[in-house]
Structures are given as structure tokens and as C-alpha cells.
Amino acid sequence: MSSVAVLTQESFAEHRSGLKDFENTGRVPEDEAYIPTYLEAFPPLPDKGSPGEKTGEPAGAWSKIRPIKASVITQVFHVPLEERRYKDNSQFGEGEEAKVCLDIMQKTGAHIELSLAKDQGLSIMVTGKLDSVMKARKEIVARLQTQASATVLIPKDHHRFVIGKNGEKLQELELKTATKIAIPRSDDPNANIRITGTKEGIEKARHEIQLISAEQDKRAVERLSFEKSFHPFIAGAYNRLVHELSQETGARISIPPPSVPKDEIVITGEKEAVAMAIARIRATYEEKKRKTTTISVEVKKSQHKYIVGPKGNTLQEILENTGVSVEMPPLDSASETIILRGEPDKLGPALTQVYAKAKSVIVVEVIAPAWLHRFIIGKKGQNIGRITQQLPKVHIEFTDGEERISLEGPTEEVEQAQAQIQEIVNDLMARMDYAEINIDQRFHRHLIGKNGANINRIKEQYKVSVRIPQDSERCGLVRIEGDPQGVQLARKELMDMAQRMENERTKDLIIEQKFHRTIIGQKGEKIREVRDKFPEVIIIFPDQQQKSDIVQLRGPKNEVEKCAKFLQKLIAELVESSFSISVPIHKQFHKNIIGKGGANIKKIREETNTKIDLPTENSNSEMIVITGKKSSCEAARDRILAIRNELANLKEAEVSIPAKLHNSLIGSKGSLVRSIMEECGGVHIHFPAEGSGLDKVTIRGPAEEVERAKRQLLQLAEEKQVNNFSVELQAKAEYHKFLIGRGGANIRRVRDRTGARIIFPSPDEQEQENITIMGKEEAVWLAQRELETLIKNLDDVIEDSMIVEPRHHRHFVCRRGQVLRELAEEYGGVAVSFPRTGTHSDSVTLKGPRECVDAAKKRIQEIVRDLESQVSVEVLIPQRYHRAIMGPKGCRIQQITREHEVQIKFPDRDESAAQEPQENGDTDFIPRKCDIIAVTGHAEKCELARAALLALVPVTIDVEVPYDLHRYIIGQKGIGIRKMMEEYEVNIWVPQPEQQSDIIKITGQVDSVERAKQGLLERVQELKAEQEDRALRSYKVTLSVEPKFHPKIIGRKGAVISQIRKDYDVNVQFPDKNDEQQDAIVISGYERNANEARAAIEQLVTALQDMVSVDTRLDRRVHARIIGARGKAIRKLMEEFKVDIRFPQPGSEDPNKVIVTGLPENVDNAIDHLLNLEEEYMLSVTETETMAAYMKPPSKTMGTGGNDEDNKALAKGFVVRDAPWNAQGNKAPDMSSAEEFPTFGSGIAPKQASAWGPKKC
């Protein structure tokens, strides 16, 4: 194999860069117009010589060139004659080998050259990129070189075992033997398997295939052909007979299913087993062929599926019951003939069963408009679900777009379902209607509103269903369905909304982006106020990343203008408030300007209404920036400078006060020290951190005030020193509560007698036994002696007992001994022991300090007396009200037990007890155990609790509300009725629509029920008032106006008609395109408003009738200038002259024609102005066109008016002088010549020698 280098465009550029030094010697001129010679452009290679021999000058040039890396390689290999696949040498280069090579070259991109050796072997040279060469070589070996092959013959039946499941066995065999194994197709009579590969691999593959065949020879396969009609008898019902036969004989029996048109039964297995199975099957076949006969019956094709049954189960059932096989015609056949095959005496019962199955199911259709289908189905399938639950065997099918409903099932049930659905259809047709309106798709999202607000309001208000198509449907058809009146009202409102949106206008405001955040406000609160003020205007701010100053307003023209003025005023205020000044303040004074907790700076900000920014602590800047109105900023600056000037005279003093007095000097929540600071002119007093142990207190402020505060602080400290004598004594933690006493009674007595303050440790302190006594020295010693006496008595532990009746024991030990724990905590840890349950003892043992034991005994006796004075009262309330009385999580019962200090026990629920309905006030019912609630406590409190329980018993009242108002009371998705139930804490029951009842039931507590009744009646009055108002607003007036005036009455984007609608609070409806009366305008609203609106339109029409339209001609080149950006200029002109100006559409016959409409005088003035504008703009247009003629780029004029010599120079390319092909008698090769550049495989004609030198073979 050899490699050669190919000079590519990139490597040639690299090559030329190596000649740089050579070019700089002066031999090659640097003038760009200079044409190099052939030797200069392509220096010759150096001649061979001795290593020390000097070469010529060209060699020196080549020595400076960097070596070129090979990007293309060449490989050569040989194919011997005996291995050549194509050996026809008659026309070398044109046979199959050439075709194969061309195909491989196209696939791989490599270049292939073929040549014949003397021994007729094939030499192949492949050139190209490395990966392309390797791919080409692989293809050549496979397609041009032969391989050894052999065949092996095995029975055709064994081929599938060589292939294996999904060809896995064959793949494994090829991989194992490194061969290619070709197995003939099943429909090919040839049984030879061809193996291709090495000799060793072929032998190994042959051996493996013969082993597989030998293994299969031990098994037998038999095929029996019996008529298809006898297969059911051989298989038996549900294939039981064939399964039993397989189990008995061990043979595998394969019977084709009824859907497969084959009559061959395949039996495989051991030879003996197969023979036994064949004998049994033949016997069955002969017997049935001899005994059976057939009859044919005609059954409708639509009923065949009921005879077949699911998965053919019905046919198997008939076969099992009667022994008769039923043969059905194919599904794709039009035949209705069914054949029954069996013994004569069994054909009758089988025929009966066939007819029974055929007639067990019928199919009927109910005609209903397609748009009614979803109402027939009901919400979440409610209506249709009720029918299917009653008649589960009926299948109901709705077909999209078709006006029919299919019912399938048993005859009786289908008839019932048909009657019910027909009744629903008749009812819906009587009370429902639909309408379709075409609204431009771009308005759909505005019709829907934010989160569906608009469309949901319309649905709820008019009780209709509105379907707006998805954006992907690209359809503008909006469908409304529901009550006829509601449909019409909803249609009208949607049309009005669409017309209003068509009348919208858009305005762009230029607002600097730095003000956007201020206008929007924190969390959008400020822009929300603007939007609330102008609800019809949509305000769109640009994305912050866009860096745009354009804020877009969209909505009705007048509202947009008002909103724009408001925002411009707001921007002016912001600009005025954005004035800022910087005040240099020494860093050490910043904290004083801020004040404690920011008090000073906050006060300055609020009083001057400015924004004050101070530098951060770690910043080196001393500038304080003030932003706001100029006057406010100057006032804030003066305030800050005043603080700075005042601080310049500050004095700081230190006072030494014992750390133990600091807390007492500070006072509760700092009240004492704050009073000193306020009294002394705002000085600042700083105490060291608690626990630091430091005695130094710092006072800072004006000199005089500091001295005054220092005197007051020292005087106060001296007073505290005198009264701050303290001692500590030890007492067990469990004694503390007893020393404190119930509600602090004991410790309060000691304080009152001695005047000392006694402090017990808090639960989070480590020393729980230390008690601190503080105050004057005499008072402290006196309190210490009293406490020591009490503690000594507590240390005297005794054991005593008392008598408590066993019936009261449970009160003390229940709830895990909570009462005993409270006694121990309250009385110095005294231990109270009650006898065990079941001992029948009444003796209770107490152990602890004497005083604690005595106090605990006294407390136990009080509890016993209290228990003995309690009574139990039974309250009779029916069980069905218990849950309502308890309230959510028992909250009502818990409140009663807390308020009246009683215990309430509800009985166990009796589920079997009959729930008899009870009328309000009816107490004559048989009491049950489950109706009695037990209340335990003091007699008077039990009575109060009993009254409270009875007050919670719910009552039910009836309120008469007209049926037609029920749906408005319920509200959309029940929101109205739920709100009332939550507000009044009652349950409100509204009758079902089919009952047509006016009675609404309210259940709850008496006062809640009354409030709910009053609220419901008030709501009824509101709804009636709304109905009356709607009736008044439905007054209509029809006005006849010529259609040509309609656009003028509507106005630009509906501005005129919208203003009329707004001023007179009416709805004005113009005729549709398809209406018969094209001149009729319908005005609806209050009678007075409708008449006023009519008068306004008539006045407008009168003015329009005086108008004229005049055609004038304006050069089309100035139209765009007159119209202006987005039509601003022409709109301004039309408003100024009070005329309408129409420009021609693109492609019109006369593009210069402009129509001006208005009052005659205004039209003349407008035309004069337009002609003046045309004259002015035409000067600019002429000048622009003249300049454009001189400014065309040269590339546009090449070939048309340019210099041909320049053009030729541009296209000349790379040129050299003194080239070999320019020598006399030579010429350059012609690339288009087949002789100079022959195609691959074609014959080569001899030709003369050329400048390129002799051809090398």
C-alpha cells in the first residue's frame, strides 16, 4: 500500500505563505497589477544531486516552503483470478466491475481505479479520506471477491427449527460459525440450505444444522384435512374435547380457528401419541358425518353478532347445550343464511335458541339535533347516567355531527329508554334554542375576559352556554345555546362587545423607563388605581429587558385621551419630584442623623416628603443624597445641616454606676431612662450590655444637658442603692408553689407585712432552689425570717389519712390523675394515694409537710362537697339533631361546658332506630335512650346548660319564593346559595326543577333561621326589582335611515355611536348584511332615553344630508406623506377641517383620486390645503428621485452602462505569463473535452503529446 499527497486549496494557501521571504528579495515585484511568470508562480522541484552539492535558486525557494500534511491517502490491493467474481475481460472498464466501482464511489466518496495484472488478477487503487477508503475497501471485498459456499439438504419441515423464534437461532448459528446461512422461503420447493464463508466455518455450520434435523426426525407431524364444518365437533364446546385428547395422548393438536379459512388439522408429538390422536379424531369425524344433518335459516345481518356473542361464546353455549354447530357467514359477506349442523332430534332446540338470541337485542334510533346531545347527556353524564342505571343492559351511543341517538339492548328496556330520551328531547326542544354569530377571532380573548370573567358573567346572567372556538381552529363562529330569550340577549351583548372592540383605538406614550417602576408602584398598587379610574383602558408597559420608553394605551377613544392626559400629568409631577441634591456630612454624624431605630431620618422624610439615601457603613462616601421637589429637598438639607451643626457642640461624659443597678435605672421597657433623656433635651444614655459586668454608663448630648442628666442619674442610683439590699435563701423547688400560694395569696401576705420584694426563679434558670429577697435591709431580714419558718414547717414530713366515699374516687384519678397532679404542684409536692379499684376501701393516704397535708386535705374536702352538690339532668333531644348541636369538632358543646361549668354526655348512636320525621314544635314522640343527653353539674348551672342545648336544636321554616327566581338565588355553580348558608349559618333547601315548587326550606337555629329568612326575602325583592328594570330597558324604537349614512353614524371605530350609547344609556342595533330592511336602526333602553337617542340620530342625519363629496387628484407619490405615520397627520387634518378624506386602495384604477366628504365650505378649504401640501411635497419627491439616480451602486450598473474592460478585469481570475501551454505549438488542456479528460470506463483514443509531458503507464 502507498500514500500520495494531494494539494488542496487550504494547503496551497499554506504553501504560498512559505514563499514570503522569497518574494521579499525583490525578484517578484509587489505591484498588484504585475503578472507573474509561470516559473515564479510554480517553481520547479530541485534536481537530484549529492548532499553537499549546491542546487539552483529555485531549490532555495522550495527549501523555505513548509511541508504539506497529506489529507488524502491511497491504498492498493489485489484480487487473484480465481477469486474474481467477474472474469469477462472482453471490455475491461465497461463491465459489471466498473458499475460496481461507480456505485461504491457514489456511496463512499472515494476514488477507485482498476487495472489488470499479467496473471489476469485485479489491481485496485482506492484514493480519498481515510474513512472513505476503508468503507470502499470493505464494499469491494464483498462485491468483487468470491467466497466459498456449500449446501446442506434437510427436510423442509425442519427449516423453521434452524431459524428459531424470531430468527434468533439462525443469528446465533451465523455468529458461532462466522458464516452466512441462506434458508429458502416456505413457499419455495427447494429444500437446500446454502452456507457461505470459510471452509472450516462451512463444515461447522453443516454439522450444527444436521444435528438440529436429526433431533426433529424423532418427532412426527401429521396433517388431516376434514371439512371445516366438522371442526367444532372435533374440538368440542369451548375446545374441551381437543384439550382432553391432548392430555390423554400427549400429542399437540392444532385446529384452525373459525376465522381462518383452512380445513387442515395439524398433530405433532411422539409417533405413537400422534397415531392414537389421529385414530380418535377420525372416529369422531366418521360418527358425526354419519349422524348429522343440516338446516338453513335466514336471520337479519344486523342480528348475527348477537348469535355469535362476545368472542363467540354464544355459539359455544349452543354447541354445549344442544350438540349442534351453528355456521355463520363471514362478516364481509352480504349473506343472511345461517346453517345449523347436528343430529336431527337436536336441531329443533338449537334453532329455538338461535332465534331467541337473535331477538334478544334490538337497535332503535331517536332523532335529536346534534347540538342538543350534550344537554341530553347532562352535566357529567347525569341525565344519561340515570337511564343507564335503571336499564343497565341498554347501550346508548351518540354520534358526533349526526342528528340521531342509537339505542341497543333487550327489547323491553330499549323501549323504556327510547321513551325517556324522547321525553328529554321534547322538553329541551320546547325550552331551548341556539344562535350562531360570526365574530373576528382576534376579539375572542377579549370576549372571554381575564380568567373567563366576561363569558362566565354572560353565561350566569342569561343562563346560556357559549362556545367560543379554539385559536387553532381558525374559526370566528361563536355558538350560543340555552333559553330562547337568554340566547337572544346574550347574542345581542356579544355583538355589542365585538362592535365596541372594533371601535377601540391605540395610543403610544413616551415615558422614560426609569419612571415605569414608580408609576406601577410596589406590587402594582399605583397602576391598579389608574386602571380602576379608567377601567375601559388597557395599559401595557414594555418588558424591562426591551429598554423601551413606549407605553401603549388601548380602549375607547375618549377614555384613552383622558388616561393619556392623566399619565402625562403624573409624569410631569414625577419629573418635578426627581430633583436631587447631595449633602456632604462627616461619617461620624451619620448615625445621629439616622437616630435611634431610624427615628430622626424617618421624621425628616415624612415632614419634607423626600427620599433620603445614606451611604452604607463600609462605604467611603460621605454624601447624603436627597430626592424630591426642589423646595422639599432644600428644606430636608437644612434640617440635616442643623443636626450636623448641633452635633458639632456635643459632649460625651461617662458615669460609673454598679452593674447590679442598671436594670432598675433603665426601668420597665426602658421607661425610666427614657424619661431622663426626654427631660434633658434629647441626650443619649448608653448602658453596657447585660451580663458584661461593666459599670461605665455613657451620656452624649449638648454640654449643659449632659451635666443635668448626669446629676439625675447619680441621684437616682443613690436612691436605688439604699433600697437594693438583697439576700438569697434555699428552698426545694416543689415548695415554691406552696410558698407562693393559690393565686399568689401566701407570698402577697409576706410582701404586704414586710414591704420586701421576693423573686422566685423562672423555669429556664439553672438554680431552681434559690429565692431572692430585695428591698430595704430591715424589710429583707423580716421577710427572710418568715420564709425560713414556712420552709422549716414544710421539711416536717408527716403521713395522714382521710375518708372519701368510693363513688368520688374516679373524679380524682381520671384523666391520668390530673387532679392529683394539680394537688401535688399546689401543695408542696404532697403525695395523695387512693385505694386500688375493686378493694372497696374509702381511706385516702396523704404524705408530705404538715402544712401542705393539712391544706391538701382541706382542698380534697372542698372538692368532695362540690361533687356531692352536683346533679344530673336529662335533656330530651332527637338523635338526628345531635350532630348539629355539637357543631364543627364539638365547638358548641365545648363552649357550653366552659360557660356553665358542667359536663355533657351524648348517648351512643343507634343506627337501627327509625328516623321518624318531626314537625317543628311537635314533642309528642316516644323517647329513646339514644335521644337523651346527660348534663352533670350544679343544679342552677345544669338548667342554664339545658336551655342552651335546647336553643341549639335546629328548626325548619318554609319561605315562598317564585320558582322563576330560584336559579338566580342559587347562582352560578351554587355560589349564591352557599354564600347565604355560610353568612347565616343555616341550611337552605331549594326544590328540584322538575317539582316546579315555590317553597324553599331553611333549617338552623331559631335566630339564624329568622335572619336567613329576612335575607332571602330581601334578595327576592332585589331580583324582582332587576326584572322590572330589565322590562323597562326593553323599550324599542325603530328609526329609518338610508344605509349610506350608517358608517357616518357609527363613526371611526364606532366612536360616534359609542358616545350616543354612553350619553343616553341605550343600545343601538344596525341591520345585518342579510336583513331585509337595510335602513332600519333599532334603539332599545328606557323609553325616555330611547326617544332622546332617536332625536340625536335624526339631528345627525339632517347634518349628514347637507354634506357633499368631491373628487380631487393628488399625485400618489405624496399620499404617504399626507397620511403620516399610522394615519396621525390625516386624522389631524380631518379633525381640523371637519371632513372625511378617503385615499384609493392599492391596485385601484385611478391611484391619484382622493375623495373629500363634508359640508361644502369645509370641503373646499380641505381641498385647497391638500393641493398646497401636494405642491410642497412634490418638490421633495423630485429632489429625492434625482439624487437616487446618482447614488446607485456600481454593481447595479455592471453589464448595462459600465466599462466592459473593467468587467473583464474583474472576471479574469489568476493569470501567469510564459506558461507551457502558451509556447508555440502547445495549448492548455480543454476540461470540457472528452479526449483531454475521458470519462471512467470509456475507450481512450490516441492523441498527440501535450505541454504536460508524455503520459506514464
Cell 518574494, residue? 23
Find the mean pLDDT for residues 422-447.
80
pLDDT band at 6 (very low <50, low <70, confident <90, very high): very low
| pLDDT computed for residue 90 by the predictor | 55
Find the mean pLDDT for residues 610-632.
81
Encoded amino acid at 463, one letter: K
CA of residue 195 relative to chain centroid, distance: 61
pLDDT band at 88 (very low <50, low <70, confident <90, very high): low
Lowest mean pLDDT segment, chosen from 112-116, 294-298, 1215-1219: 1215-1219
pLDDT band at 1109 (very low <50, low <70, confident <90, very high): confident
| pLDDT computed for residue 920 by the predictor | 46
Report which listed range, 90-99, 759-768, 1027-1036, is most confident: 1027-1036
| pLDDT computed for residue 195 by the predictor | 85
Lowest mean pLDDT segment, chosen from 171-175, 895-899, 1155-1159: 171-175
Encoded amino acid at 427, one letter: D
| pLDDT computed for residue 872 by the predictor | 83
**DSSP-based three-state secondary structure for 207:** helix
The dihedral region occupied by 129, where left means phi > 0, alpha psi between -120 and 50, and beta the remainder, is: beta
Does the pLDDT at position 1197 exceed 60?
no
Of 734, 736, 722, the residue nearest 780 (C-alpha): 722
| pLDDT computed for residue 67 by the predictor | 53
Which of the two residues, 28 and 173, has the higher pLDDT score? 173
The β-bridge relationship of strands 871-876 and 903-905 is unpaired
Q: How far apart are CA 181 and CA 160, in angstroms?
A: 13
Q: How far apart are CA 735 and CA 733, in angstroms?
A: 5
pLDDT 10s digits, 1144-1173: 988 888 889 999 988 888 888 888 888 888
Query: Percent of the chain, pLDDT > 90?
Result: 0
Residue 1028 CB-density burial (10 A; 0-12 exposed, 13-18 middle, 19+ buried): exposed
Residue 818 CB-density burial (10 A; 0-12 exposed, 13-18 middle, 19+ buried): exposed
Residue 401 CB-density burial (10 A; 0-12 exposed, 13-18 middle, 19+ buried): exposed
Encoded amino acid at 519, one letter: I
CA of residue 431 relative to chain centroid, distance: 39
Q: How far is CA 558 from CA 446, 740, 1046, 1166, in A?
A: 20, 79, 21, 25
Task: Report phi then psi at 306, rounded to 5.
Answer: -75, -25
| pLDDT computed for residue 1108 by the predictor | 83
**DSSP-based three-state secondary structure for 969:** helix
Report which listed range, 96-100, 494-498, 806-810, 1090-1094, is most confident: 1090-1094
Strand (E) or helix (H) holding 1047: helix 1046-1050
Find the mean pLDDT for residues 428-440.
80
The dihedral region occupied by 595, where left means phi > 0, alpha psi between -120 and 50, and beta the remainder, is: left
Q: Using an 8 Å Cβ cutoff, are 758 and 783 in contact? A: yes
Cell of 1060: 350616543
Q: How far apart are CA 353 and CA 1228, in angstroms?
A: 100
CA-based max dimension of the chain: 151
Q: Kindly report the average pLDDT of the chain as a whole number.
A: 78
Q: How far apart are CA 75 and CA 137, in angstroms?
A: 9
pLDDT 10s digits, 689-737: 777 778 888 887 777 778 888 888 887 777 677 666 777 888 877 777 7
Q: How far apart are CA 123 and CA 77, in angstroms?
A: 6
Q: Using an 8 Å Cβ cutoff, are 804 and 842 in contact? A: yes
Does the pLDDT at position 25 exceed 60?
no
Q: Using an 8 Å Cβ cutoff, are 294 and 304 in contact? A: no
| pLDDT computed for residue 1190 by the predictor | 55
Q: Using an 8 Å Cβ cutoff, are 714 and 685 in contact? A: no
| pLDDT computed for residue 1226 by the predictor | 64
The dihedral region occupied by 902, where left means phi > 0, alpha psi between -120 and 50, and beta the remainder, is: beta
Does the pLDDT at position 999 exceed 80?
yes
Cell 339505542, residue? 407
CA of residue 718 relative to chain centroid, distance: 73
Of 179, 174, 151, the residue nearest 162 (C-alpha): 174
pLDDT band at 427 (very low <50, low <70, confident <90, very high): confident
Q: Using an 8 Å Cβ cutoff, are 560 and 507 in contact? A: yes
Q: How far apart are CA 610 and CA 605, in angstroms?
A: 5
Helix/strand number for the chain, H first, E second: 49, 45
Side-by-side strand order, sheet with 999-1004: 955-960, 999-1004, 987-989
Cell of 735: 415548695
| pLDDT computed for residue 156 by the predictor | 82
CB atoms closer than 10 angstroms to residue 1061: 19
Encoded amino acid at 46, one letter: P
pLDDT 10s digits, 505-556: 778 888 877 778 778 887 788 888 888 888 878 888 887 777 788 888 878 7
- SS (HEC) of 45-63: CCCCCCCCCCCCHHHHHHH
Residue partners of 364: CB distance under 8 A and separation at least 6: 406, 407, 414, 415, 418
pLDDT 10s digits, 802-848: 888 887 787 787 777 777 888 877 776 777 888 887 777 888 888 77
pLDDT band at 1201 (very low <50, low <70, confident <90, very high): very low
Does the pLDDT at position 2 exceed 60?
no
Does the pLDDT at position 585 exceed 80?
no
pTM given for the model: 0.30
Find the mean pLDDT for residues 71-83.
76
Q: How far apart are CA 1040 and CA 131, in angstroms?
A: 87
Cell of 958: 318554609
Q: How far apart are CA 773 and CA 780, in angstroms?
A: 6
Residue 553 CB-density burial (10 A; 0-12 exposed, 13-18 middle, 19+ buried): buried
Strand (E) or helix (H) holding 11: helix 9-17
| pLDDT computed for residue 431 by the predictor | 79
Query: Percent of the chain, pLDDT > 70?
Result: 85
Does the pLDDT at position 1092 exceed 50?
yes
- DSSP code at position 832: E
Q: How far is CA 16 from CA 12, 23, 60, 65, 776, in A?
A: 6, 10, 15, 8, 111
Which of the two residues, 222 and 701, has the higher pLDDT score? 222
Does the pLDDT at position 1231 exceed 50?
yes
Does the pLDDT at position 60 exceed 60?
no
Beta bridge partners of 359: none
Does the pLDDT at position 1251 exceed 60?
no
Side-by-side strand order, sheet with 1153-1158: 1108-1113, 1153-1158, 1140-1142
Torsion of CA 1016, 1020, 1026, 1029, to 10 degrees: -150
pLDDT band at 222 (very low <50, low <70, confident <90, very high): confident
Does the pLDDT at position 1000 exceed 80?
yes
- SS (HEC) of 503-516: CCEEEEEECCHHHH
Q: How far apart are CA 935 and CA 876, in angstroms?
A: 11
Of 662, 499, 679, the residue nearest 1069 (C-alpha): 499
Task: Report phi then psi at 828, rounded to 5.
Answer: 65, 35
Report which listed range, 246-250, 303-307, 767-771, is most confident: 246-250
| pLDDT computed for residue 1 by the predictor | 37
Encoded amino acid at 1073, one letter: K
Q: Is the dihedral of CA 617, 623, 627, 631 positive or negative?
A: positive
Q: How far apart are CA 987 and CA 981, in angstroms?
A: 6
Find the mean pLDDT for residues 135-160.
78
Q: What share of the chain is helix, strand, coil (3-state, %, to 5)?
A: 50, 20, 30
| pLDDT computed for residue 927 by the predictor | 72
| pLDDT computed for residue 34 by the predictor | 64
